[in-house]
Amino acid sequence: MIVDLFTWLTGALTQAPAIAIGAAFVWGVLSVILSPCHIACIPLIVGFIDGQGNITTRRAFGLSLLFGFGILITIGVIGIITGLLGRMLGDIGGYGNYFVAIVFFAIGLNLLGILPLPFMEGGANPKYQRKGLLAAFVLGLLFGIALGPCTFAYMATMLGVVFSIASTQIIFALSLLLAYGIGHCAVLVFAGTFTEVVQHYLHWTEKSKGALILKKVCGVLVFLGGVYMILLNFW
């Protein structure tokens, strides 16, 4: 079924612009949902939003958007650099995986309440609010390093179409990439924003039992994401 879906999406990329752009958007969504690397982003942003305390839906949306934007920036930069170096697009090598694993471990331990990280703190204080915005963006930048190889593996077919039409239809080619990026970020923005909606509905604060359990579950999942990054060097 999954193979059939991607086969259909591949064909749709060569259809009329509206259909092709829609297919690129769906491809971006699936690149998060179906990828072991990308799926680790969801518990991270959920745990991060959960730890910000009683915030508005607008702020949760903004934090999630900055996180997704940070990921896209890093992926783009890594793609350009690795391409110029003649490496496979997004290939950061074994040492890069170890670096990202350390970041995963640190964030996971923070969500578990073991390792304090001041920039991850939430609260109503404007100083903490600014830290939250910066932290969301920086986390996105760091996670983008880990997601490089996975992202370009999922984008390979679409990039082939983009490169083939770029010389004659540059606007259309860029539109496909933009649609993919929006779809990619949409999943993360939805996950982060929906977390705040649930908190508000259940009247959770950062110290509520349900919120603490959710945060610890996310911490375990992010920590396991770090383990996965290390194991990639042995597969």
* Contact criterion met (CB below 8 Å) for 49 and 121: no
What's the mean pLDDT when you consider all of the chain? Answer: 75
Is residue 100 a part of any domain in this protein? yes
Q: pTM for this one?
A: 0.72
Dump pLDDT digits (tens) for 181-221: 888 888 888 888 887 666 665 555 556 676 677 778 888 88
Radius of gyration of the chain (CA): 18
What pLDDT is stored for residue 125 in this prediction? 45
Is residue 73 a part of any domain in this protein? yes
| In the chain, % of residues over pLDDT 90 | 0
Is residue 148 a part of any domain in this protein? yes
Q: Work out whether the CA dihedral 119, 124, 127, 130 comes out positive or negative.
A: positive
What pLDDT is stored for residue 114 in this prediction? 87
* Contact criterion met (CB below 8 Å) for 47 and 222: yes
What is the DSSP-derived secondary structure letter of residue 90? T
Dump pLDDT digits (tens) for 74-100: 877 766 665 555 555 555 556 667 877
What pLDDT is stored for residue 46 in this prediction? 79
Look at residue 223 and tell me whether its pLDDT is greater than 60: yes
Is residue 3 a part of any domain in this protein? no
* Joined tokens for residue 118: 């001041």
34 or 37, higher pLDDT: 34
Is residue 11 a part of any domain in this protein? no
* Contact criterion met (CB below 8 Å) for 51 and 192: no
Dump pLDDT digits (tens) for 105-137: 888 888 888 888 766 655 544 454 556 788 888
Dump pLDDT digits (tens) for 138-183: 888 877 776 666 666 667 777 777 777 777 888 888 888 888 888 8
Estimate the crossing angle of helix 126-166 against helix 93-111, to 10 degrees: 150
Is residue 229 a part of any domain in this protein? yes
* Contact criterion met (CB below 8 Å) for 225 and 46: no
Is residue 209 a part of any domain in this protein? yes
Least Cα distance to 184 among 8, 59, 49, 37 occurs for: 37
Is residue 1 a part of any domain in this protein? no
Looking at the structure of the chain, the number of domains it has is: 1
Q: What is the mean pLDDT of residues 35-62?
A: 76
Its domain, for residue 79, covers 18-234
Look at residue 60 and tell me whether its pLDDT is greater than 60: yes
